Chains A and B, each alone.
Chain A
Amino acid sequence: MTIDERYDVAVVGAGAAGLAAASECARAGVATLLLDEQPSPGGQIYRSITTTPLADRRVLGSDYWYGEALVREFERAGAAYAPRSTVWAVTPEGGGFEAGVSSDGAARLVAVKRVILATGALERPFPIPGWTLPGVMMAGAAQILLKSSGLLPRGRIVLAGSGPLLYLLAAQLVRTDTRIERLLDTTPPARWRVAARHAFAFAVSPYLAKGLGLLREARRAARIVEHVEHLEALGDRRLSRVRYMAKGRSEEIIADLLLLHQGVVPNINLASAIGCAQRWDASQLAFIPVVDEWGASSVPGVSIAGDGAGIAGARAAEARGRLAGLHAACALGRLDPAERDRRARTSRSELARQARGRAFIDTLYRPAEPLRLPQGDTIVCRCEEITARQILDTVKLGCIGPNQMKSFLRCGMGPCQGRFCGLTVTELIAKARGVPPAEVGYYRLRFPVKPVTLGEIAALPQTEASVQAVARLAKSED
């Protein structure tokens, strides 16, 4: 597909929020480009929804197949769609922005007036001893393999962690008759008491029936161990056993595959590199971009929608995507504010509905500190193989934050650009210094936010200025 040189709006990410935002923009007459890394739309929650080999719809469930309607709506709306396209930079240019995009191995710059970031969420790091052994994966990755390729895990499978995605995956595996050895639930017992404060809201929210249903399914086929503390993956050159503590007793089981999950957090790399202000959210234990009720960030012209603006699930992401799209269309003069507000009403009430009960889930599934903050030789930065001990020793030497940590240890300088280690490093430093994570801050992120080859950058168009610069330099050598 050819990407034109300019559009009114670029939407980054074709998940629930991105599809909805692009649809609203395009329907309002805005020249819209939806960019996405994957070969087909759906983001993560609706991953591979137009191409999944899983013909039996009961496996992935009705919440997943809801996404088909979003894709159809987008296809009819009239926006341009660029799959297999990675946005690695967004810089201000001429009153608007220039997006650096790699598409099919070639880099180019696309001029736009406004940007909507819908880059979604990442799984929170789960740094337990042995988490880098072959045979240990994140549960979300296993779910992607299921959705995109219909692949099922084999052998003695252990799921461990907490959060809705873990139970969803367990239910989906059960529906495919995949045997799960054990589901190790790390939700601490005291957490239920704390969460009970929000129980009424949860009870009248859409989550209760869904959640209970998933639990019932999972229990039918997997042995669930509750209140698990201390997880360890053991093995010589690959995973062979999982050790855990429950009810004060240590257990060890043979395992071929360990699937870890303790929640998702916003993927803030692109927003942060653009300069959008972030704040530390103590209940979600993550950095969240600061946005208003339309998703507008602290950078004029840049909006953030979906889980990338705070974890709230697929339906809330769709609602926020619509709001961001309507806001952009209004800002570009295609909708008057009254019409924008009218079209926004359904999304606002859906957002309110989804928000009810969210506090309960966030509180209940808040990952336990020992599983967030590793010790000793447990690896924190996987790219550079930096351990918790090395990080704490560096704090003792006077390193006060993650950016200095980069210079001392190369921590955060690898290809994941902090996605696997950032939150762990911030919290470790905060705990060691005795200050809140908000004061420690996060890695200062820079473009390109996804690695891009030198050859691709070299293919970008040349400026007149750089031609002059070469001529000047040649002259000065005389």
Chain B
Amino acid sequence: MSGFVATADAIVVGGGLHGCSAALHLARAGVRAIVLEKNYVGRHASGVNAGGVRTLSRHEAEVPLALAALDMWYAIGELVDDDCGFESNGQVRIAEDERDAAALKAREARMRGLGYAHERWIDAAELLARVPAIAPHCLGGLLAERDGAADPYRTTAAFRRKAEALGQRIHEGVRVERVQRVGNAWSVATDQGAFGARALVNCAGAWADRICAALGEPVPLEPIAPMMMVTLRLPPFLQPVVLGAARPLSFKQTGAGTVLIGGGRRARVDRDAETTKLDFRELAASARTVCDLFPIMRSAVVNRAWAGIEARMPDDIPVISRSSTTRDAYHAFGFSAHGFELGPIVGRIVAELVTTGGTPLPIAPFAIERFGPR
């Protein structure tokens, strides 16, 4: 193909975790890929999220993918030559009152009914044993013992490095402007020239809907910016990751001793300016939840707050499927603030779709068709 800066078997749009994971797994399947990233790898949601490696409380459709991904996390060093800072001390969702407890127990029953045993109700005594700093009014929680947390930027960078080591090319600072079919292949126009490939993979995160629109399959993607806070170091007091039940919260202490506070409260976002504006009243609500659950945190010092730019779908589950309109096009986006743990498996699913047209994992709920007839 002439007139192209470079060509490959596949072009992946988006150098976040899912794009780099796709590139890595495509390499393992013998498919040469180019990744086009408009900023730098891990610049947005992938590099700045809470790092939760979580199977707990997933939407039912995500559970089989999350469990398969967790097995990959336990062997992440072999996959990407880096342990990614992955530590497993479990994740637990707290019940503050009887209503919470009833809901969490019902969830445990439902999971068992579906054949999954990864979530277990624990009572107040076991909760206190595992989380000694928790406020005494808590009645128990739902525990996923094998869950944990990792370093998001380090993980994304590791997937990138391994993909490159296996021969893939990552182009940073290259902004995709247009995608179009030319004959039997794709021509992707960017601000640095055109790239060509047989297959197109859309991992463009909060900007992925634009590629969908170009393919004639628009989706109702909402750019969101969930806010995080990090404190100065504290002496170790917390091992598992703690999630709130009725009140949104995600709370963990890193190996360095700093405490990461998330939970999904949102900043204002401008996805074209690529800026976010923090909402301190919303952060105050997160702060109150933390202080209610962990009274010792009142004197913890917040050193930084930020918000990453992420994509949310209206049903809070991603799009992982082949294009419904165009051959040789594939989507993996819209992870709705919980895509980090799925990174390793989604790349493998993408590679399976590209090479065989299908995947053994149940991805029907993630089809792009659910957003309307074409």
Contact = CB atoms under 8 A, between A and B. Distances in A.
A451 B291 contact: no
B337 to A, nearest CB: 13
Contact of B285 (A92, A404, A466): A466
| Interface size range on B against A | 35 or more
Interface in B219-248: 229-232, 245-248
B103 interface: yes
A89 B302 CA distance: 12
Contacts of B287: 454-455, 457-458, 460
A346 interface: no
A129 B230 CA distance: 31
Interface stretch (A149-157, A319-327, A467-475): A467-475
A474 B99 contact: yes
Contact of A455 (B245, B282, B299): B299
Classify the interface of chain B: helix, strand, loop or mixed: mixed
Interface in B256-282: 256, 261, 265, 275, 277-282
Given A407-B154, A410-B256, A457-B284, A417 B246 contact: no
A62 interface: no
B301 A415 contact: yes
Given A89-B278, A460-B284, A447 B303 contact: no
Given A473-B247, A474-B99, A453 B284 contact: no
Contact of A91 (B154, B277, B303): B277
A477 B246 contact: yes
A469 B265 contact: yes
A275 interface: yes
A470 B247 contact: yes
Interface in A68-93: 89, 91-92
B297 A454 contact: yes
A454 B277 contact: no
Contact of B303 (A415, A458, A463): A415
A244 B263 CA distance: 53
A448 B305 contact: yes
A451 B232 contact: yes
Contacts of B124: none
A478 interface: yes
Interface string B34-72: 000000101000010000000000000000000000000
B288 interface: yes
Given A457-B302, A466-B265, A109 B248 contact: no
Contact of B301 (A446, A452, A465, A478): A452
A98 B278 CA distance: 11
A285 B135 CA distance: 51
Contacts of B275: 275
Contacts of A469: 248, 265, 285
A100 interface: yes
A400 interface: yes
B74 interface: no
A454 B280 contact: no
Contacts of B246: 470, 473-474, 477
B103 A477 contact: yes
A441 B283 CA distance: 29
A454 B302 contact: yes
A459 interface: yes
A2 interface: no
B300 interface: yes
Contacts of B265: 466, 469
B374 interface: no
Contacts of A283: none
A52 B246 CA distance: 54
B300 A453 contact: yes
B47 A454 contact: no
Contacts of B232: 414-415, 451
Contact of A407 (B47, B230, B245): B47
Given A454-B291, A477-B103, A462 B305 contact: no
Given A407-B42, A466-B265, A477-B103, A454 B285 contact: no
A100 B229 CA distance: 15
Interface string A80-115: 000000000101100000101000000001000000
Q: How large is the interface on A (under 10, 10 to 19, 20 to 34, 35 or more residues)?
A: 35 or more
B370 interface: no
A338 to B, nearest CB: 37
B301 A461 contact: no
A448 B230 CA distance: 11
Contacts of A400: 40
A212 to B, nearest CB: 45
A446 B305 CA distance: 6
Nearest to A451: B301
Interface string B83-126: 00000000000000001100100000000000000000000000
Nearest to B153: A407
Nearest to B248: A473
A53 B278 CA distance: 43
Contacts of B299: 453-455
Contacts of A98: 280
A356 B187 CA distance: 59
A420 to B, nearest CB: 14
Interface string A421-456: 000000000000000000000000011100111110
Contacts of B282: 463, 465-466
B280 A462 contact: no
A160 to B, nearest CB: 31
A461 B288 CA distance: 11
Contact of A92 (B261, B277, B283, B303): B277
B304 A417 contact: yes
B311 interface: no
Contacts of A478: 103
Nearest to A449: B304
B353 interface: no
A413 to B, nearest CB: 8
A457 B283 contact: yes
B306 interface: yes
Given A454-B290, A469-B265, A473-B248, A91 B302 contact: no
B298 interface: yes
A94 B78 CA distance: 52
Contact of A100 (B100, B154, B280): B280
Contacts of A474: 99, 246
Interface string B290-316: 110000011111111110000000000
A292 to B, nearest CB: 22
A114 to B, nearest CB: 18
B298 A453 contact: yes
Interface string A265-282: 000000000010000000
B20 to A, nearest CB: 14
A454 B280 CA distance: 12
**8 A-B pairs with least C-beta separation:** A455-B298, A460-B284, A407-B153, A458-B287, A466-B285, A457-B287, A463-B281, A451-B301
Given A417-B303, A454-B287, A463-B281, 18 more contacts: A91-B277, A109-B280, A415-B303, A447-B305, A453-B301, A454-B229, A454-B231, A454-B261, A455-B291, A455-B298, A458-B287, A460-B281, A460-B283, A461-B284, A462-B285, A466-B281, A469-B285, A470-B246
26 contacts: A91-B280, A109-B281, A408-B153, A452-B301, A452-B302, A454-B231, A454-B287, A454-B291, A454-B300, A455-B297, A457-B229, A457-B284, A457-B287, A458-B290, A460-B283, A463-B281, A463-B282, A463-B285, A465-B282, A469-B265, A470-B246, A473-B247, A473-B248, A477-B100, A477-B246, A478-B103
